[in-house]
Structure 1
């Protein structure tokens, strides 16, 4: 029997990001060609002009929704409250009103978080939503959270995030029993500050969680656990340190491989292998990070995102929609939430 429920499109804050509408529209066109229906939210005139640069875009499942304002990257996240027609607010309302399945933004991350929380609200059993970021490891990839949504946290937040991340990896990445680690300054149970020590006890007491104990910073990228939980202040530093180090290391490799004619010859031999490594390290591969814990799907990308990142973010959001991620998260929380 055919499912009568319509497949809702993904709302894209098409004005967000460092480069404005151009990469957002290009990425939306690429995602639409891959079968994802997209609502472009922003200045109608500018978006029509950008779409016109893609002559083969006619007939694709793309619709434009007017938003007369945009919150710039240098503005305050608190501006969300008073600017109802900002593109991120309009896009998030489309999700709340049932016209879109998810919101994706490469714009102001703080504004996206604030808009999602204010407009969609929190799932029952979640005190603070968290941003989950996938990072490459020696084995495959690891989910880090929180990576910036919450700088001052309580131990129970970390426990909630571990459960949310476990459901996310089971639902979207096929990891049936994902392992969880707690970032600390030592593997021993007694290592860590007051936050880590109390969180460790909570995580250890959760029978439905595959908790492996503390992990150190050096173990994160070994893939020691599938998930690593931490406060958002630490998580944001870890994520940006990793991204920065990857860029520096590649610049060193490039410098070494162009230092002489012998090195250049060697570079030709390893070119394809290096491209594979670059692909694994490229943040655009993952597109955007989900904000877990809100009553809807919300994905936050890099301000410097290119069209490829936008495309992959829209595809990831559509996969979360098809997998009914929010319903699965709510169900997992309901099993442990006291009435």
Structure 2
């Protein structure tokens, strides 16, 4: 299925150069993909010319000019009200007008949430959008939801996250009965705050969810569940901590292997294994957080993602669009979410 994605080409820490390069990488990886780059048209045209694209390849890229962009530190409510001609606004509008199948942005997360909600609207029964992303595990990968959109959550919100996340895993990964775990400070029933305890009860009572119980922080990467549910504060801290630890370990391994000549020789022998490990653990492969709960597909890339990372976010959006994720979410919400 051919899909056309709207790309906020001005968002992110690195801006258009990285986003354009990432879009080209995604197009090379997916022959059925088209993109509409939204942003400063003269600048985007100049950046594209540097890649010496074939005529056939270039025909899969459209440009939509914007007169403004939203800064990473801009107040989201201000961005919603006063930046209506920004690349983020216009890219999201393309999805709302059904001119594109999904939107991808590396820009201001809060602004993207508000703008997505403004143009696309919320799924019935869902009060707040939530961000979900994949993480590597011993058995492949799992998903964590929420990753920062909602720092304070009621039990009902956590139930909604479980329903949306379960539907997403079914649609994207093709799992019939995804295992759902609720992140907590312990596995015992007496552990956790009142909202987590109530959420556990609500999720357990939801017949359509395969709830396996509480999950502790050191179990996130074991792969015993397909979806880890938590509030945005906990999820974001867990994600950033794991990314920081991965970076630290990578630096330490590199430093250890280069201290002496003998260790350098050992590193040459170990290079294939280390390369494979890095490939499996590289956060770049898991870039792209799904904004669940909206009536359209929106994927948020890390603001500091490089071109390769941004391409993975684009490919993620293409997959969700092909699987018609919002419609699949709506089916499960109507079946499982209390009115």
When normalised by structure 1's length, the TM-score is: 0.95
Indicate the residue corresponding to 2:48 in structure 1.
51
Indicate the residue corresponding to 1:187 in structure 2.
187
Please identify, of 169-178 and 199-208, the stretch whose mean Cα deviation from structure 2 is larger: 169-178
Taking structure 1 as reference, are residues 338 and 185 closer, same or farther at Cα in structure 2, changes over 3 Å only? closer
The 3-state SS of whatever aligns with 2:298 is strand
The 3-state SS of whatever aligns with 2:67 is coil
Contact 1:29 1:57 in 2 (8 A): no
Q: CA deviation at 1:316?
A: 1.4
Q: CA deviation at 1:263?
A: 1.0
Map 1:45-124 → 2, pairs under 5 A: 45-60=42-57, 61-78=60-77, 79-124=79-124
Map 1:229-248 → 2, pairs under 5 A: 229-248=229-248
**Root-mean-square deviation over aligned CA pairs:** 1.4
Q: Alpha-carbon deviations, 1:202-240, whole Å to 9, x = none?
A: 011011111011111011111231111111011110000
Q: Which runs of 5+ in 2 are unaligned?
A: none
Q: Alpha-carbon deviations, 1:181-206, whole Å to 9, x = none?
A: 11111101221011111101101101
Q: CA deviation at 1:59?
A: 2.7
1:151 equivalent in alignment to 2:148: no
Q: After TM superposition, which residue ranges in structure 1, 4 or more long, deviate above 6 angstroms?
A: none
Indicate the residue corresponding to 2:35 in structure 1.
38
Give the Cα separation in 2 of the matches to 1:246 and 1:100.
36
Give the Cα separation in 2 of the matches to 1:338 and 1:198.
15
Contact 1:189 1:213 in 2 (8 A): no
Q: Alpha-carbon deviations, 1:134-185, whole Å to 9, x = none?
A: 1111111111110100011110111111111111111111222111111111
Report the count of equivalent residues.
334
Q: CA deviation at 1:338?
A: 5.8
Taking structure 1 as reference, are residues 293 and 309 closer, same or farther at Cα in structure 2, changes over 3 Å only? same
Contact 2:208 2:336 in 1 (8 A): no
Indicate the residue corresponding to 1:292 in structure 2.
292
The 3-state SS of whatever aligns with 2:116 is helix
Give the Cα separation in 2 of the matches to 1:276 and 1:49.
37
Map 1:1-339 → 2, pairs under 5 A: 7-33=2-28, 34-35=30-31, 36-60=33-57, 61-78=60-77, 79-337=79-337
Taking structure 1 as reference, are residues 154 and 170 closer, same or farther at Cα in structure 2, changes over 3 Å only? same
Indicate the residue corresponding to 1:3 in structure 2.
none
The 3-state SS of whatever aligns with 1:315 is helix
Contact 1:189 1:200 in 2 (8 A): no
